[in-house]
Structure 1
Amino acid sequence: MCVAGHSVLRRLWLLPVLGVAFSSCSGPESAPPDAAGETRQTAAATGGSGVADDATEPAVLPPDVRGAEDLPEPGACVVVDQSSFDSVGCSRPHTLEVAQVLELPDDLPRQRPDDQQLLSLSLTQCGEPAAEYLGSTDMDATRLAPWTVWPSKTGWARGERWLVCGVTELDGAEPVERTGSLRGALVGEPFYEFQICTEGPPSEESIRIVPCDQPHRGEAVPGTVPLGSPMDQLPDSSDIDEVASPHCAVAVENYLGISERADVRTVRRIPTEQGWQAGHNSAVCYVETEQPVTGTLLGIGDRPLPV
């Protein structure tokens, strides 16, 4: 497939898969008496760098976005806006990188499923290609996310069954225009360029993502806990905790370089029901501090916190 031609112009639906639809769950060994237990609440990203509890509507591109025969190749860096779907060199500003272009299953109905159904379907198809492109399954601990594109109703009626599996960097709900490729971006040290840090405690239901060099009280730790597929049911919280608790204890110890500190606690954030259906199928481990810090806790050991 190629994007050089302009012969067929059709409408696409574009939906981000946001890495913020989680509820918080503090480890019982570290939670204060008034923070014990777990809460579940719908959460999604809003514009800017904030994160709030609300539903996210699909972004609809207008009719003059290119159609099926002009789709980009895997590995292409793409500019997506209200009038184009253009492949560019990755050294140029772009918003989307194509991990893979797939064909949807042949047994789908002739009438196009609604967008929520297609989103769930696309996640089962695109999660693995996105992770392979980034080199890790740790997307939920970062500002990187899958971004899927499928045919419009008109294209569907014409027999189009393609699916573009892409990845993007988010600022809230909006893709960031960036340069350079994200291929392998979550392998090793590059993870920390995209790491989620939270302005307030990650044990709270709603979090605000901030750059990690600004004052923050939470840092997502590499090594998310896979919990299943979006086509499965969300596991019970007790089953999640049984798996996530020992995993996070080890992940945090490796992150800090010390087994425990009185001024740092381990927090787990688990998917909400809506987040689960939207592809957030892992628990994320965090370190949380009592006071804001201005630098990373990676490898801090027993040194003073960077307040």
Structure 2
Amino acid sequence: MARRGLKLMAAGALAALLTAGCAPPGVDGDLVDDWPVVAEPQSWSPVAGECHPAAYWGENSLAKYTPVSCDESHSWETFHVGTLPAERVTLPPAGGVDRAAVFKECSAEADKFLGGDWRDARLSLQVLYPTKEAWSGGARWFRCELANIDIEFPVNRRESLRDSLAGSAPALARGCYTREGDNFEPIACDKPHNYEYVGTWFAEPSMEYADLLRRASRIHRECRSLVAKFAKVPDDAAINARTGTQLLLPGRQEWDEGDRGVGCMLFLSRTLHRSMKDAGTKGLPINYR
């Protein structure tokens, strides 16, 4: 999946001014260094329903906040703004269960906003938090963002993603894929392919990223169970002989931001010209190669 690369000084400037000594502002000939930096307004918070020309990648300050109408060219959309407890002392630490809980809230809100499971579509979700300065001033919001992803990068759109997964055959749905190196390229399922997305397996919120990498064999087994359900074949010992699986792991940065979902794809050495959805044992016979 592709996705995010998530991305102070007023107090120091003021301290320098207070300890500098006797000269009033401006007498040294420099009109800039004697005045404290104006802090970011702490009452500001983002608004759901606005779109953005690009991701903020951690530069989530008011100065960087330049929303546009969703009928203008944009790549990301704020669909939900949540609130963390006012008594919380620090931002949720990267990789912890608190960030996983926030990401879970954003995921649930995304499904409601889209009219379907965002993970079943060519979409990326990211969570943005206040700057450290804003947090120190009392800001406790987090904002949930969605982007349509084409292979790896966000697509520029001129309409909202709202309800884009409603209906029986949404245009953004994940489906069949071909592979070029490390890239999976979506393709119509009636065209030659040998990969197909079947669902998402979820790791425990407390799991360490290193454990995710060490447990690949277990996750492949979980994904084969998803293949069995997707294709309507028995989920028994023979499933290993019916299909291979490909894991779509979240990157370390995505994991640290709370994403615990692993995408699962069936993989066959033979070329397919149809979806394996509900294909049964005739579609996925034993000896998938």
- Fold conserved (TM > 0.5)? yes
Q: Is residue 79–residue 87 contact of structure 1 (8 Å, CA) maintained in 2?
A: yes
Equivalenced residue count is 229
Following superposition, the deviation at residue 91 of structure 1 comes to 2.6
Structure 1 stretches lacking a partner, 5+ long: 1-19, 21-44, 47-55, 60-65, 255-259
Give the 3-state SS of the residue equivalent to 1:88 in structure 2: coil
Give the direction of change, closer, same or farther, for the CA distance of 1:113–1:198 in structure 2 (3 Å limit): same
Structure 2: unaligned runs, 5 residues or longer: 8-39, 57-62, 234-238, 284-289
Cα–Cα, structure 1 residues 289 and 68, in superposed 2: closer, same or farther, change >3 Å? farther
The answer to whether the aligner puts 1:79 opposite 2:57 as a matched pair is no
Using the size of structure 1 for normalisation, the TM-score is 0.56
Distance verdict in 2 for CA 1:119–1:186, change over 3 Å: same
Residue 199 of structure 1: CA displacement?
3.0
Q: Distance in 2 between matches of 1:198 and 1:69?
A: 46
| 1:128 matched residue in structure 2 | 108
**Corresponding residue SS for 1:200:** strand
The one-letter code of the counterpart of 2:112 is E
Deviation larger for 166-175 or 233-242: 233-242
Which residue number in structure 1 is paired with residue 245 of structure 2? 267
Query: Compared with structure 1, are the counterparts of its residues 67 and 298 closer, same or farther at alpha carbon in structure 2 (3 Å cutoff)?
Result: farther
Give 1:75's aligned amino acid: G
1:58 equivalenced with 2:32 (yes/no): no
Whether the 8 Å contact between 1:198 and 1:208 is mirrored in structure 2 is no
Say if 1:271 and 1:282, in contact at 8 Å, map to a contact too: yes
**Bigger Cα Rg:** 2
Counterparts of 1:68 and 1:217, CA distance in 2: 52
CA distance in 2, matches of 1:250, 1:79: 39
Report the Cα distance in structure 1 between the residues aligned to 2:259 and 2:135, rounded to whole angstroms. Answer: 27
1:219 aligns with 2:196: yes
- Could you list the per-position Cα deviations for residues 201-259 of structure 1 after superposition, in whole angstroms to 9, with x for gaps in the alignment? 9xxxx7412131486431213x434x3553456686676566543332121349xxxxx
Q: Report the equivalent of 1:94.
A: 74
- 2:183 is matched with 208
CA separation in 2, counterparts of 1:115 and 1:91?
34
C-alpha distance in 2, partners of 1:287/1:174?
Answer: 24
Change over 3 Å in CA distance of 1:212–1:270 after alignment to 2: closer
DSSP-derived class of the 1:220 partner = strand
Q: Distance in 1 between matches of 2:41 and 2:154?
A: 21
C-alpha change, 1:160 and 1:268, in structure 2 (3 Å) is same
Change (3 A) 1:171 1:272: closer
Deviations 1:78-124 (A, max 9, x none): 334677534433332222222211111234325x4555558546424
Structure possessing the higher relative contact order (Cα contacts under 8 Å, 6 or more residues apart): 1
User: Secondary structure in 2 aligned to 1:99?
Assistant: strand
The share of aligned pairs that are identical, in percent, is 22
Q: What is the TM-score of this pair, normalised by structure 2?
A: 0.59
- Secondary structure class of the residue paired with 2:112: helix
The SS at the match of 1:126 is helix
Aligned to 1:40: none
Partners of 1:57 and 1:154 lie apart in 2 by 21
Aligned mates of 2:129, 2:176 — CA distance in 1: 32
Q: Alpha carbon RMSD of aligned pairs, Å?
A: 4.2
The structure where helix makes up a greater share of residues is 2
Which of 142, 157, 160 matches 1:178? 157
